[in-house]
Amino acid sequence: MTENSQHSRPLLQVRALTCEREERLLFRDLDFSLDAGQVLQVKGGNGSGKTTLLRIICGLNDGYQGELYWQGNALTEHWDDFHAGLLYIGHRVAVNHVLTPLENLRWSCRLHDPAADDDICGALAEMGLAGYEDSPCYSLSAGQQQRVSLARLLLSSARLWILDEPFTTLDIDGVALLEHLVARRAQDGGAVLITTHHKLDLPRLRTLTLGVAQ
Amino acid sequence: MIRASVGAAFRATLKRDLLISVKRRNDILNPFMFFIIVVTLFPIGISPESAMLRQLAAGVVWISVLLASMLAMDSLYRSDYEDGSLEQLLLSSQPLYLLVFAKNIAHWLVSGLPVILVSPLLAYMLSLPADGYLTLVASLLLGTPVVGMLGSIAVALTVGLGSRGLILAVITVPMSVPVLIFGTLAVQNSLAGGSPLGYLALLGAMLAAAVSLAPVATAAALRITLN
Amino acid sequence: MAGRWQWFHRLGSPKWFYEKTTRWLPWLIGVMALLLAVGIVWALLFLPPDYQQGHTSRILVVHVAVAGASLSFFPLMAVAGTVTLVWRIKLADMVAKNAAPLGAWFTFLTLATGSIWGSVSWGTWWEWTDSRLVSMLFQFFLLLGVISLRTAIESAETAARACALLSIVGCINVVIIKYSVAWWNTLHQPPSPISMEVGSPNGPEFWVATAIMIVGVYLFLAVSLILATRNEILERENKAQWVRELALRSR
């Protein structure tokens, strides 16, 4: 193994991924890879298996056949490494309603990369939530809660982001901000896997459309 | 890459769950009040005679504690499932069973401990003889975490289901039977002048077994049900 | 290595199971019917009445056999559950799914025959001091828990694995419950004359009848489980080629 093979290997590789759910075929023999610096947008109609695909890659769903590789290693053998380098934001944004944004982020950062309170407040301010640090999250709007969750993107050093419909509740400014964050992550050598119906305006954007071949 | 340490994630989870319960208040108050109310029903339903109550006291307190912890279980994992925090817990690079264990401890501190603290008062109202108090509290301290951790498995298996009340009861009640048996036997034995240490040791053994096995089973159950 | 695992996976193939059992079933049913008939006729007609219990001792022949069989359900489900969780073999889950209601039914029969016997021998239909019946009752509850968990979870795959885990946990618990209830009883009162031991007054003819009945009931269990599993296979594999061919042939 040469020294630079570590770098030439794709960050994430998916081979012959087939998923059948409740006797219905969602996708078959899916092959794709994601290199550092790339953004992959997963498209497809309702029920085409976008969320399932993301959950399979995250390791939340194991009802699949096929192989997954993280930096060249079989994912199933290296979950801890993979999870240390992964940030997933799903439909449900993992924001507890009775806690404040600060308390929420303190906990979710502890699970991944520890962050100081100042950094968290800075991230919240960047997400446009300055002044809301100590208000309970039930008093925030859905879009603001989404922003609390997205503040984790600023605090994370994860190389791979997996974002499931992150734009749904955001306003125009929020959308622009998130697009900017995604582009910046790609520039910094990370990779982003994202599902959205939104038209993304990003350089080096690749798309994967589910539910066409069948 | 700097990784969060296991200990920090454990403490953060414990702290977060305690904070949520303190803010929600009902998590603490509901089982506590429920326990007191259930205990007061026994003298009214059975007999106000202190001679009769004395014999029943240990069992009444133990059964009421079991019912209260059954009620408390419902709040375990529910909001975490609904808001997606449980997914984040599964995706942490820290061992899931340790994080689950932290949640179990927090849940016990909030729903189990207050009930145990008030139990001597209610035992007094049921005319439990003085010899029994220490054993009662000790048996509850050892036994209720076992029930809580067994319940945690059942809750994890039913997380996300709409109506799970009966399923929870049908699963956890039989599993709690050994704890109930040794808990009440310990008290009765010390009332009869014997040493309760044997039974307490058995409860301790159950606690040790539960601590080492139940979080692993809960973690497996969560991975299955969140699939 | 490959050879060793081949049989294992063949064993897990629903088609293989279906075809094999088609051949075995007539034999199993024949032997079962013979043993049950001999056992029941012997117990009802030829067994001398017990000098203490009179004719009620006859029901013990059935009770002992059914009770023995119902004890095997949780270990069976735990093994099937382990296979489901570790190797993802569907057949194991099909067996486990049908074992739970069957086990509940056997456990219920044990409780019913036990209390019928008790109503004459002890003068009461239910006796808490008999630890075996009490722990059977809790096994019954746990089996109901497994069944209701299965029906509550919509996704068949998730339900299979959740029930597998619960069966393993339940199996450990049934053992603990059994011993702790037994202990609880011996401490609550000294060893009582009330005992289900098929004890000394019973001669060898009683034992032989019971042994025949036990084998017969185990075969009944196996046959019921196989039949239920075969139905399950046809239902779940209804899109498979071989099931369609089977359906065409039988028409």
pLDDT > 70: percent of chain B: 98
Amino acid C159: pLDDT: 93
Cβ contacts of C81 on chain B, cutoff 8 Å: none
Which helix (H) or strand (E) segment is B51 a member of?
Answer: helix B50-73
Q: Higher confidence at residue B131 or residue C79?
A: C79
Of the two residues A6 and C74, the one the predictor is more confident about is C74
Q: Is the pLDDT of residue C82 over 60?
A: yes
Q: Can you give the pLDDT at residue A144?
A: 93
Distance CA A85, CA B102 (A): 23
The whole-model pTM stands at 0.90
pLDDT band at C122 (very low <50, low <70, confident <90, very high): confident
pLDDT of C196: 46
Name all chains with 3 or more CB-CB pairs below 8 Å to chain A: B, C
**Chosen from B18, B27, B83, B225 to mutate, greatest number of chain A CBs within 10 A:** B83
Q: Which of A144-158, C26-40, C182-196, C216-230 has the lowest mean pLDDT?
A: C182-196
Of C40-54, C76-90, C207-221, where does mean pLDDT reach its minimum?
C40-54
CB pairs under 8 A between A and C: 5
Question: In this predicted model, which residue has the larger pLDDT, C56 or B3?
Answer: C56
Q: Give the pLDDT confidence score for residue C35 in this predicted structure.
A: 94
* SS3 state at C45: helix
Non-local CB neighbours of A213 within 8 Å, separated by 6+ positions: A27, A28
- Kindly give, in sequence order, each residue whose CB lies less than 8 Å from that of residue B159, ignoring residues fewer than 6 positions away: B77, B78, B81, B86, B222, B225, B226
- Say whether pLDDT at C133 is over 60: yes
What pLDDT score does B167 carry?
87
- Closest in C152, C176, C183 to B158, CB measured: C152
User: What is the structure's pLDDT at C7?
Assistant: 60
Whether the per-residue pLDDT at C194 is higher than 60: the answer is no
Is any Cβ of chain B less than 8 angstroms from the Cβ of C145? yes
Q: Return the pLDDT at C244.
A: 87
Predicted local distance difference test score (pLDDT) of residue B3: 53
Q: List chain A pLDDT tens, one digit each, 214 residues.
A: 333 444 567 889 999 999 888 778 888 889 999 998 899 999 888 888 899 999 999 999 888 889 999 998 898 888 888 998 999 999 888 999 999 999 999 998 888 878 888 999 999 999 999 999 899 999 999 999 999 999 999 998 899 999 999 998 899 999 999 999 999 999 998 999 999 888 888 877 888 888 754 4
Specify the pLDDT at position C198.
46
Beta-ladder partners of A65: A18
C155 touches chain A (CB under 8 A): yes
For residue C170, the distance in angstroms to the closest alpha carbon of chain B comes to 8
Q: Which pLDDT score is estimated for B13?
A: 94
Domain of A114 in residue numbering reads as: 35-61+79-208
DSSP for A47-67, please give it.
Answer: TSSHHHHHHHHHTS---EEEE
What pLDDT is recorded for position A2? 38
Disruptive mutation site among A71, A89, A96 for chain B (greatest number of B CBs within 10 Å)? A96
| Residue B106 near residue B18, CB atoms below 8 Å | yes
What pLDDT score does A22 carry?
Answer: 75
Cite the beta strand spans of chain B per DSSP E. Answer: none
A165: in domain: yes
- What residue ranges do the domains of chain B occupy? 6-225
Instruction: Give the mean pLDDT of C140-156.
Output: 93
pLDDT at C3: 52
Give the tens place of pLDDT for each residue, C35-58.
999 998 888 887 777 666 677 778
The continuous run of DSSP H or E covering A162 comes out as strand A160-164
Mean pLDDT rounded to a whole number for chain C? 85
Predicted confidence (pLDDT) per residue in B90-121, tens digit: 998 889 999 999 999 999 999 999 999 999 99
What rounded mean pLDDT belongs to chain B?
A: 92
**B180-189, C5-14, C86-95: the lowest-pLDDT one:** C5-14
Task: Name the residue ranges covered by the structural domains of chain C.
Answer: 59-196+205-235
**Within-domain flag for A213:** no
Is there a contact between B227 and C155 if contact means CB atoms under 8 Å apart? yes
- What pLDDT does A203 receive? 76
The CATH number linked to A125 is 3.40.50.300
Q: Give the pLDDT score at C208.
A: 83
pLDDT at A78 (0 to 100): 87
Tell me the one-letter amino acid at C81.
G
Residue A40 domain flag: yes
Rounded-to-integer distance, Cα A52 and Cα A29, Å: 15
Q: Return the pLDDT at A8.
A: 63
Chain centroid to CA C115: 19
Q: What number is the average pLDDT over the span C183-199?
A: 55
